[in-house]
Structure 1
Amino acid sequence: MNHAYVSVEGIARRYPGATIFEDLWFGVNRGEFVCLVGHSGCGKTTVLNILAGLEKPSDGEVIVDGQAIEGPSLDRAVIFQGHALMPWMTAEQNVAFALSCRHKDMPRAQLRDAAREALERVGLTAAADKKPSQLSGGMKQRVGIARAFAIAPKMLLMDEPFSALDALTRGALQDEVARLVSEADQTAFMITHDVDEAILLADRILLMTNGPDARLAEVVVNTLPRPRMRATLHKLPGYHALREHILDFLITRSRLMAQGLPADWNPRHAPEVRPGA
């Protein structure tokens, strides 16, 4: 995995009396979008927190661009499930604050212009002077997305950022993120429960067995052509085979594999499959 931009090398997370996951190995290539899918309790959020530098693994390490993660970094921006905006600041000020952390000597006027440009990219020009309490849930997440992209991170980490939104808003933001990631050639890692979200966004989908003692069971390569739009995703050749493969894993195989992995299972080389290819 040393060739990967991000190399997750044998990480585990244990608490007294319980192992959440064990011996995870996978890589994320530069410019690649990877989704991690699995049932609640398999440690998805913990994996993302380790990638963000917010938690330390019990074993193993994560290498990003040749350097081991030692803590949080502006090179790894996080979009959380909740918007995580500062309520006393306007949308523009929330984005400008992140920019000021990245560019400590940037003049105030330039920070304001850069923040407004970032908000314009997510369709929030008219909301720049509004505080979070004046924004809808979808608009708050758009501010969070604008803030993350504004600092030009080397890696974008997303913790189910659309799960609390209504279906129409969620679909619109998924399309928005797909566009922004593509335009920026952004390296991205997302955890999700939404199979169609993973199929829409990801180049590869990592499937976790059920926890506790969860493992990485399979790496699914998404061969559906880009650009992908949620409204037409189901019409793409190979979509149904890909979706059924992931659903079969979540409904049946994840539970069975948690009860006993094959004798020849190698954590460093989870099988890579291309359903429908």
Structure 2
Amino acid sequence: MRHAYVSVEGIARRYPGATVFEDLWFGVNRGEFVCVVGHSGCGKTTVLNILAGLEAPSAGEVIVDGQAIEGPSLDRAVIFQGHALMPWMTAEQNVGFALSCRHRGWPRARLREAARAALVRVGLEQAAEKKPSQLSGGMKQRVGIARALAIEPKMLLMDEPFSALDALTRGVLQDEVARLVAEADQTAFMITHDVDEAILLADRILLMTNGPEARLAEIVVNTLPRPRQRATLHRMPGYHALRDHILEFLITRSRTLAGAPPAGWDPRRVPELRPADAPAALAAP
């Protein structure tokens, strides 16, 4: 695990009388996009919060670029389910505030210029002077994306950022995030319930068993070539094998594999499968 840019090493989250998840091991390489998929209650958001430094694990540790996470950092930007914008600030001011935290010596004019440039990247240059109450849900999330990317984090963390949006807006923003992350060669970690979203965005997809006592059961390598477009994703060779494999896990195996792992299970060597290349993997136990 030490060779990975992000190394999650045996983390667990326990509460009195309950264990959310136990002994998670996985890595995220520099420039890689990783998605986590699993049912509610398996601890996905808790894992993200630990990566963000917002929560401490009950056991284990997370190493990022050779340093153990000990708290929040501007090197790890979070895009939440809700937009999390400051309502008294304009779109430009929300982005500018994040920039002022990253670049404390920058003059106001430079902060404003950089904030405007970040809004241009997400197509919101015309909304720079509007406050969140004047923006649609999709526009608010665009501001959140602009704010996160403007500070040039080493890692982007996303907690189901599009789940509250309508299908059309969600699809547009999925394509937008795919483009922006690729342009910046950004390391990204995302939680989602949307299988097609994971297939569109991820290089690898982590599959969690049901909680409590959830564990990482399998890592699916997404071999569909990039660039991927939402409108044509379903026509790509290997798409249906990949999608069917993930759905079968969520419908059946996430439940049947829940609880204590089988004898001989090594959480440091979670199986990696490539169902897009090998449909026979659908028959894997």
TM-score range relative to shorter protein: over 0.9
SS at match of 1:258: coil
Question: Does residue 204 of structure 2 align to residue 204 of structure 1?
Answer: yes
Aligned residue for 2:246?
246
Give the Cα–Cα distance (whole angstroms) in 1 for the partners of residues 248 and 57 of structure 2.
Answer: 30
1:57 corresponds to:
57
2:24 partner amino acid: L
Distance 2:181 2:137 in 1: 21
State the distance in 2 between where 1:276 and 1:119 align.
36
**Unaligned regions of 5+ residues in structure 1, if any?**
none
- After superposition, residues 24-43 of structure 1 pair within 5 angstroms as 24-43=24-43
* Counterparts of residues 1-277 of structure 1 (less than 5 Å): 1-277=1-277
Matching residue's letter, 1:26: F
- How far off is 1:237 after superposition? 0.4
Moved more, 183-192 or 256-265: 256-265
Summarize deviations over 1:206-225 as a string: whole Å, max 9, x none: 00000000000000000000
Paired residue type of 1:200: L
Deviation by residue 1:58-111 (Cα, 9 ceiling, x = unmatched): 000000000000000000000000000000000000000000000000010000
How many pairs are equivalent? 277
Using the TM superposition, give the Cα deviation of residue 275 of structure 1 relative to its aligned residue in structure 2, in angstroms.
0.1
Q: Normalising by structure 2, report the TM-score.
A: 0.96
Contact between 2:214 and 2:259, CA under 8 Å: does it hold in 1? no
1:260 shift after superposition: 4.8
Match of 2:282 in 1: none
CA distance in 2 between partners of 1:264 and 1:119 (Å): 51
Using the alignment, how far apart are the partners of 1:108 and 1:259 within structure 2? 54
Deviation (angstroms), 1:264: 2.6
CA deviation vs aligned residue, 1:145-188 (integer Å, no higher than 9, x gap): 00000000000000000000000000000000000000000000
Report runs of 4+ in structure 1 exceeding 4 Å deviation: none
**Partners of 1:36 and 1:200 in 2: how far apart?**
13
- Cα deviation 1:182-215 (Å, max 9, x = unaligned): 0000000000100000000000000000000000
- Residue 224 of structure 2 contacts residue 276 of structure 2 at CA under 8 Å; is this kept in 1? no
State the shift of 1:132 in Å: 0.1
The percent of aligned pairs where both chains have the same amino acid is 86
Q: Could you tell which deviates more after superposition, 254-263 or 153-162?
A: 254-263
* Aligned residue type for 1:235: R
Specify every segment of 5 or more residues in structure 2 that has no aligned partner in the other structure, as ranges.
278-285
Shift of 1:116: 0.3
For residues 63 and 259 of structure 1, the distance between their equivalents in structure 2, rounded to whole angstroms, comes to: 27
Question: Match of 1:229, as an amino acid?
Answer: Q
CA drift of 1:276 comes to: 2.7
- What's the CA shift for 1:265? 1.6
- TM-score normalized by the length of structure 1: 0.99
Q: C-alpha offsets along residues 96-136 of structure 1, whole Å, 9 cap, x if unaligned?
A: 00000000000100000000000000000000000000000
Contact 2:213 2:259 (C-alpha < 8 Å) held by counterparts: no
Structure 1 residue matching 2:251: 3-state secondary structure? helix
Deviation at 1:261, TM superposition (A): 2.9
Q: Give 1:263 shift.
A: 1.9
**Amino acid in the other structure paired with 1:103:** H
